[in-house]
Amino acid sequence: MTEPTKLWGGRFKAGPSEALVNLSRAPRSYFRLFPEDLTGSRAHANELHRANVLDAAELAEIQLALDAIETDVVHGKEVPGDSDEDIHTFLERLLIARLGALGGKLRAGRSRNDQTANNTRLYLRRMAREITAGLVAIEDALVDQASQHVKTILPGFTHLQPAQPVTLGHHLMAHAQSLLRSIERFRDWDRRFDRSPLGAAALAGSAIARRPDLSALELGYAGACENSIDAVASRDHVAEFLFICAMIGVDLSRLAEEICIWSSKQFGWIRLHDSYSTGSSIMPQKKNPDIAELTRGMSGTMIGNVAGFLATMKAMPLAYNRDLAEDKRTLFETIDILDVVLPAFAGMIATLEFDVARLREEAPKGFTLATEIADWLVSQNIPFAEAHEITGAVVRYCEERGHDLSGLTEADLPAIDGRLKPDMLAAIELDRAVASRTGYGATAPERVGEQIDRFKKALETGREFANSSSAAVATSATPGQRAGGQASW
């Protein structure tokens, strides 16, 4: 191994202590940013050529060396050593080892401050698309299930109490709609932070790299950051990214909670596929919803990462401070969670089997059709306040006699209230009740079908975003190196 590369130390009489080195060294997981760092180096080399720091031959030699380094890192021929403080020192060590003094020229006009800011932005723009692709897979599974159950009826709940009957397709699409908003958040996030920090150097900009606007375009950004201090000091793009991920975790956790409940013996509404559930080491009969439970638990970690990073940022003066390195710890943990959760969740949803007959049997229980009585009374020109009281009396009457609304007969009605007529009984027929909810976005099967059609079109925009190119980052890294695990590292 060549001698370790040091990016600082000329004014120090003594080298760093072992304790400082151990504290300062970046965790191995941080080295996943090597594609972004190499991409930024390529753009910076072009900038140095524009500034006449590199001539054409030197530029070509550096670019070829960077390409070769990338190939060797991807294939495990070059790996970080214990002496490499971070991704910047690792890659500069390799460059100097291959090019000698020429390799050291690349550092002119830039700082680790703008390098790490640029690496993080490029990486997150790429991750926004990869996470979106994972969300789209879950959305596809939800839409497919909803399409099969446009007319399947189940009880809807408020306060975890039976409320009104709804269609299963409508209920599943409610979850799909919430996840779609996170896809839209990623698209909006990408637009807002489509600015390059490269060229900001330490904080004041560079007297050498004076065309960051051109570097920005090379890197796939729409432009350069407006303020060099803000470019290296801000991390709101990290906080917002963490929030979007946490919101995804919360939305998935809510669906996961329902899956845990619905798959229980007490409910028995769904059957989990064997390949997306687990057993017990001591109870052979068990079939556990581990994917749902792990998702529910991991959402707490993602929420904590948002709060923790905001606490890190809250009293930090401008411009760069080493505290900012904590952005990667929280980001990588959150991204690594979603990297394993999303495909497992999509598979679980796609393979769910619903007990349609049982759902229909449960749908009217708990007086879920009581609102139909009140609505029928309103149609008879009775004020809703009075209709509400009459309906309450109907429910009380049934409870006292130990039956649900289905036990009502025509003979019972005048005993409750003279304004109740026999044709009211038709209003509490299950399919009729659901079909009567015909407002835009409501649960009537025809409205649910229309919602699904609109949703599919909206989802295509998310699919296009997931498949779009975020920047000029090399894509030769393996999936494990791109999103988390470091292969042989």
pLDDT of 156 strictly over 80: yes
pLDDT of 93 strictly over 80: yes
Fold of 370-427: Ribonucleotide Reductase Protein R1; domain 1 (1.10.40)
CB under 8 Å to 334, separation ≥6 — which residues? 242, 245, 246, 301, 302, 305
pLDDT of 259 strictly over 50: yes
Q: What is the C-alpha R_g of the chain? A: 30
pLDDT at 279: 84
Confidence of residue 359 (pLDDT cuts 50, 70, 90): very high
- Residues with catalytic roles: 159, 280
pLDDT at 286: 84
Question: What value does the mean pLDDT take over residues 323-349?
Answer: 97
Question: What value does the mean pLDDT take over residues 40-51?
Answer: 98
What's the one-letter identity of residue 467?
N
pLDDT of 7 strictly over 80: no
pLDDT at 1: 45
Q: What is the percentage of the chain residues whose pLDDT exceeds 90?
A: 87
Contact 200, 117 (CB under 8 A): yes
pLDDT at 338: 98
* The CATH number of domain 112-151+167-210+227-360, selected from 3.40.50.1000, 1.20.200.10, 3.40.190.170, 1.10.10.10: 1.20.200.10
Question: What value does the mean pLDDT take over residues 76-105?
Answer: 96
- 18-107 is classed CATH 1.10.275.10: yes
pTM here is: 0.92
pLDDT of 178 strictly over 90: yes
Question: What value does the mean pLDDT take over residues 311-327?
Answer: 94
pLDDT in tens, 238-249: 999 999 999 999
pLDDT of 485 strictly over 60: no
Question: What value does the mean pLDDT take over residues 459-487?
Answer: 65
pLDDT of 479 strictly over 70: no
pLDDT at 281: 85
Confidence of residue 480 (pLDDT cuts 50, 70, 90): very low
Please state, in angstroms and rounded to a whole number, the distance separating the CA atoms of residues 386 and 378.
9
Confidence of residue 32 (pLDDT cuts 50, 70, 90): very high
Domain residue spans of the chain: 18-107, 112-151+167-210+227-360, 370-427
CA 483 from chain center: how many Å?
Answer: 13
Per the model's pLDDT, the better-predicted residue between 115 and 470 turns out to be 115
Question: What value does the mean pLDDT take over residues 301-324?
Answer: 96
pLDDT at 21: 81
Name the residue among 14, 41, 32, 53 with its Cα closest to residue 96. 41
pLDDT of 404 strictly over 70: yes
Q: Exposure of 257 by Cβ count < 10 A (0-12 exposed, 13-18 middle, 19+ buried)? A: middle
pLDDT of 280 strictly over 90: no
Please state, in angstroms and rounded to a whole number, the distance separating the CA atoms of residues 350 and 365.
28
pLDDT in tens, 192-207: 999 999 999 999 999 9
Q: Mean pLDDT in the chain?
A: 93
Question: What value does the mean pLDDT take over residues 98-127?
Answer: 97
Question: What value does the mean pLDDT take over residues 213-228?
Answer: 97
pLDDT of 169 strictly over 90: yes
Question: What value does the mean pLDDT take over residues 141-165?
Answer: 97
Question: What value does the mean pLDDT take over residues 214-236?
Answer: 97
Question: What value does the mean pLDDT take over residues 423-443?
Answer: 97
pLDDT at 37: 97
Per the model's pLDDT, the better-predicted residue between 382 and 11 turns out to be 382
Buried b (16+ CB within 10 A) or exposed e, 460-474: eebbebbeeebbebb
Element (H, E) at 36: helix 34-50
